[in-house]
Amino acid sequence: MAAKYPPYVNAYGNISKLFEEIKKASVPAKFTNNFLQTVLGLKSTSYRAMIPLLKKLGFIDQSNVPLKAYKDFRDNSVSKKVMADCIRRAYADLFQANEFAYKLKKSEITEKLSTITGTAKDDKNIPSVAGTFVELCKYADFESKPDKPKGNPDPEEQKRPKQPDQNLDLQNNKSNETVKKIGLSYTINLNLPATTEIEVYNSIFKSLKEHILYEE
């Protein structure tokens, strides 16, 4: 059974040149051999193996169309975080064996990869895998915590029941108390009829009390 190797290229010494040129050039509709040669100026046939590497890193899809990681990597403010995230996914088995794999020496990485893949100590591909990993890590920052994506709420946060806003309740209570304390005063002018019948006045004031001055 053939060994399952993590992403690698034999000419891993050219990796730095590839990513430097990716940052300089505009994003292509498709990342092709022609783009490598004519736009990036990487004419050596050894660079052709970089296209499968970019696919395994999640920089381009199976149709060679640049993905979000490719575009974000060109932004120097997040470039190293993007690369670190891609490396962690592409070399998941290595990070599972040692979460600080990026701090290991090349010889230690080679030994760890040999154990993970079950290959012989003299396997010809393992040094290239280790070399590729080391070169990629030069463009990564594994210490910074990834930023939470904007506009996408934390799934764990969504599961938590929403607690009532105590400050808001307090404000509402104060508002209600204020409303209760507010009173209205008004002046009523009456034009009373000229009469000597006291019952007429009694009827007027009784009606006034029942319909206007009554308070709940």
Q: Which residues pair with 66 in a beta bridge?
A: 60
Q: Give 29-68 pLDDT, tens digit per residue.
A: 999 999 999 999 999 999 999 999 999 999 999 999 999 9
> What is the separation, in whole angstroms, between the first and last Cα of the chain?
90
Task: Say if residue 7's pLDDT is above 90.
Answer: yes
Cα-to-chain-centroid distance, residue 83: 15
21 φ/ψ sector (left φ>0, alpha ψ -120 to 50, else beta): alpha
CB of 103 within 8 A of CB of 141? no
Percentage of the chain with pLDDT > 90?
A: 63
Per-residue pLDDT at 149: 42
